[in-house]
Structure 1
Amino acid sequence: MKDETSNALSEILEELEASVSGESIAVEDVVERMGESSFASLMLVFSLISTSPASAIPGITAIVAVIVFILTVQMIAGRDHVWLPPFVMRRRMARDKVCKGIAWIRKPVSWVEKFLRPRFTWLLKKPWILVLQFLILGLTLVMPFMEIVPTSGSLASAVIALASAGLLTRDGALILIAGVLLLIVPAVLFFVGTGG
């Protein structure tokens, strides 16, 4: 995928839409379309799906959490190609909900990417990038439990989408924002979930 163009995020949505056929789409179809080395692209795609109305698909927040966790671990380990377990790869999502989600997210993505550009790129290098990656891991560990709090899973996924967009466009400013949110969002959701 092109990761430094001004419309990189819209291109990814177009690739996702092109991968949809039949009554449903499998995770494996998305991986094949995005490319087995496109870790950040895949992270963005699945987090956006979980942010959009497609999050109404039962269990989608938990599945996205598993996918993002595995992708992040592999990024930290420096793998060249994506590996996901068979039970995740076989998971299917309803075509109409995915397409509705893509249509819903397209306009805000198109607006946001106008402001993204390579800057503060030192944040994409170690050790700084590891901080972001471990914060993402921490969030994915609590995401499966967020389905009991309405919209909380979508909020968590939106933060991961921001981090992924920062990686794809090499925008360190966005990565900084995502990092702060990755620290704040779990605490806020815990506070709300416990009725504090």
Structure 2
Amino acid sequence: MKITLGGRAGSGKSTIAKFLAEKYHLKHYSTGDMMREIAMGMGYTIEAFSSVTPEEIDRKVDERTEKIGKTEDNFIFDSRLAFHFIPDAIKVFLDVSYEEGARRIFLKPRKSEGKAETEEELAQRNKERWETDRKRYIQRYNLDLEKRENYDAYIDTTKQTMEEVIREVERIISSLRKA
């Protein structure tokens, strides 16, 4: 089983991917983890890094993602672009409002995210980062992350608990595996 989870910051991608990986005994991959490791190693926060990411680093991550998709079977990939590089995966997009995403992240901050003084500041930074990345992907790949037809399922997590989202993702996985 191959699953990709894409979505906005704070939508629950990492939390849900980790839960499903454990429940279904899947290997968990995360482009965010790969990028955070590279960014922190170079002394950047992920926000600063996303605006200066060299094409070479994107290419390395893309190649690794594509290789995993071609050589492995039982995994879940928490990534904005994995759906593109692993076309035979079950592709799920998790959406969230910038405000709710910021609230969730503010409650459980990561060292690599950079400190925000307020949820509003974090929401604005998340919006700017999303738009920067979205434009980069359109230019580089001619690929718009917001097109729903790129995914097998699109879930707005804004007003749902993680438990509700997990149940919905599991229902989608179950129905697509039987199809």
In the superposition, the TM-score normalised over structure 2's length comes to 0.29
Q: Would you tell me which structure has more strand in proportion to its own residues?
A: 2
Q: TM-score scaled by structure 1?
A: 0.27
